[in-house]
Amino acid sequence: MNAGNYLSDLVSMVGTLFLFAYWPSFNAALGSGTTASRAVINTYLSLACSVIASIVVSKIVHGGKLNMEIVLNASLAGGVAVGSAADIIISPAGSMIAGFIVGAISAFGFAYLSTYVKKHLKLHDTCGVLNLHGIPGVIGALISAIIAYRTGSTFGNDLSSIYPYQALNRTPEEQAGYQLAGLGVCLGLAIGGGMLTGFIASREWFQPPPAEALFDDKHHWANCVIEHEELHELKSQMASNKTDSKMDRGSDMDESQRLRPSIN
């Protein structure tokens, strides 16, 4: 039951389209003027290239066909990758290269890493957080450190409008170090918070669902009717009845041929 179907993939695609359209507003929310405009443009460029990368990788991995899980998720990785640097990337090529590389890494993660982590580390990433937010987020933080180190000469005194503490005469090298320190703090909070949440959710008093009820909403909701499951069962029953009907007609024909007198 841990798999998509036509209906769920269709609804998810609508969600992906909305995220694609509004992700630039996430990255530009704290900016204003040219800073916000730069963030919007860089985010769209990065997203567009991550879409291309997800399609290319999907066709490579799946023999020329598209995989919905990869396309739905990896196509958004570009928005994550430039989230912390979208307002200071001044070259369109920079955001496009970042989007394509991160989109490809995310796509390969959905194709191979998720299975490996589940099998060997016993970590089941049901929402693809590692490949869509985790790895692209780490890469995005590294990108922000590199850009903070290299853009001091480009922005000059205006860099303090992006990094407020730059007004304290912090050097570009020091700012890059703070960006990396922020990455370490985020990883510590994410890993520590995740372990604590997993520990609490696995306790008996938290009433975790039994193994056979995982990925089944009927365990938690009263009068839960999953239409696509009923439709699948109905189609299976109709196919079975059709097969039985054909077998019965075949038996009748054999019987009639056996009883038919032979003509010399």
The predicted-structure confidence for 105-114, as pLDDT tens digits, reads as follows 999 999 899 8
Asked whether residue 77 is assigned to any structural domain, the reply reads yes
Q: Is 139 left (phi over 0), alpha (psi -120 to 50) or beta?
A: alpha
Q: Are 224 and 217 in contact (CB under 8 A)?
A: yes
- Asked if residue 229 and residue 117 are part of one domain, the reply reads no
The model's pTM: 0.76
Query: Quick check: helix, strand or coil at residue 100?
Result: helix
- Asked if residue 180 and residue 62 are part of one domain, the reply reads yes
pLDDT at 174: 83
- Asked if residue 190 and residue 99 are part of one domain, the reply reads yes
- pLDDT tens digit sequence for 7-61: 778 888 899 999 999 999 998 888 778 888 888 999 999 999 999 999 999 999 9
Confidence of residue 264 (pLDDT cuts 50, 70, 90): very low
238 compared with 224, residue with greater pLDDT? 238
pLDDT at 250: 58
pLDDT at 210: 79
- Decide if pLDDT at 224 tops 90: no
pLDDT at 36: 86
Closest CA to 160 of 175, 150, 147, 146: 175
145 compared with 260, residue with greater pLDDT? 145
List own/partner pairs for 9-16 with CB under 8 A and 24 or more apart: 9/68, 9/72, 12/68, 12/72, 13/68, 13/72, 16/71, 16/72, 16/73, 16/75, 16/76
161 compared with 118, residue with greater pLDDT? 118
The range of the structural domain enclosing residue 29 comes to 7-208
DSSP string, 8-68: HHHHHHHHHHHHHHHHHHHHTTT--THHHHHHHHHHHHHHHHHHHHHHHHHHHHTTT---H
pLDDT at 151: 73
132 compared with 206, residue with greater pLDDT? 132
Asked whether residue 264 is assigned to any structural domain, the reply reads no
- Asked if residue 158 and residue 34 are part of one domain, the reply reads yes
Asked whether residue 116 is assigned to any structural domain, the reply reads yes
pLDDT at 236: 76
pLDDT at 249: 60
Asked whether residue 213 is assigned to any structural domain, the reply reads no
Asked whether residue 259 is assigned to any structural domain, the reply reads no
Q: What is the mean pLDDT of the chain?
A: 82
State the total domains in the chain.
2
- Asked if residue 244 and residue 192 are part of one domain, the reply reads no
Q: Cα–Cα–Cα angle for 71, 77, 78, nearest 5°? A: 115
- pLDDT tens digit sequence for 156-205: 556 666 666 655 677 778 888 888 999 999 999 999 999 999 899 888 88
Confidence of residue 147 (pLDDT cuts 50, 70, 90): confident
Question: What integer is the mean pLDDT of 143-162?
Answer: 72
Among 14-28, 121-135, 250-264, name the one with the lowest average pLDDT. Answer: 250-264
- Asked if residue 246 and residue 127 are part of one domain, the reply reads no
List own/partner pairs for 62-68 with CB under 8 A and 24 or more apart: 67/110, 67/111, 68/4, 68/9, 68/12, 68/13
- Asked if residue 111 and residue 38 are part of one domain, the reply reads yes
Give CA–CA dist 130/110, Å, rounded.
9
- Decide if pLDDT at 3 tops 70: no
